[in-house]
Structure 1
Amino acid sequence: MRLRAAALLRETALAWEREDRQAVEAAIPGLPKRLTLARRVESLARRVQDLMRELMRERLGWNKHGAALPPAPESAPDALGDLREKSVLCVGEDGPGTSATQRVIEMAGGRFMHHGGEDEQDGPALEASLVAADLVICQTGCVSHDAYWRVQDHCRRTGKQCVLVEQPQALQFVRSREATKV
């Protein structure tokens, strides 16, 4: 009798969950197709990231384990060769994209610096970081208005190159490396 009651409870709960799911699917037209497409996009994005990492390793002369490859004749210029011995300041939130950007900059021989770009942070610290940087990456969607304008003003006054990105993505930085001077 207890086993039947437990089975009945489970079947009832399962039936309610199925009804809830059907109601959600009915409320959002095309949900199953959207979910399938979202999974496919995630898979393709991972594949693109893997291919970009592989390309970057080739350009920087590294194998997949981080060891230097033997020199090979270059048919294309190294996209990040000019970062050697340069300081790159990333202004914006500290997240996985920022960590990836840091790895790319350091693999290219550059020095990575970071400033959060928030209102609470010390303005003189941002100014000092800007002075020490050779190149500035500003995450426009992740900084305060004050920090954004300080970065813009400093780069205009000094002629420093400033790369504006919406999100802290290393691959986006690599693609926009040839951005215009601010």
Structure 2
Amino acid sequence: MSVFPRTHLRSPRAARRLGAATALSVLAVFATACSDSEQAPATPAAAGDRVTMSDQWIKAADSGMSAAFGNLRNTGDAPVTLVAATSPASDRVEIHEVVPDSTGAKTMRPKAGGITIPAHGEVTLKPGAEHLMFMDLKQPLRTGSETSLTLTFADGSSTVVTAQVRDFAGGKENYAPGTENSSHGG
């Protein structure tokens, strides 16, 4: 059963108009659907593509522990969280912060939740503050040499940077991985 009165379908002219109107309607729907898909928001770039590290360096050390420092910059429109790091120079790399203990002395500890880099912002990793702690060095880190550092973000993406090893005499905070304290140079 047709929704159009029979008189409209008997005329060839009316049928052509109906056909033309139907074709225009289909084209309009198709054009709208295509333009909507072209205007859909783009998927945001992975955090590893939005974060860069500049002025990165690692403290020279013969064995044990060391630390990496530098400036992390987020070029994206949303905050990014650094949650892990690795390097072939050590068995593990931890994200650390330095806070005063009950006596006011600086104590270093793993930073829960990682380091958040604000949208279009920067975070500086530096001695006596947030930094990347190299634990159980596999070999000495000699002044002037370089090593790679892989930074991993909350979205699972990562980026690799190369850092130069430098001499640094400061940073005598206490390391507190729980109840055990030992001095180190990060």
Fold in common (TM above 0.5): no
TM-score normalised by length of structure 1: 0.26
TM-score normalised by length of structure 2: 0.26
Bigger RCO of structures 1 and 2 (CA < 8 A, at least 6 apart): 2
Higher strand proportion: 2
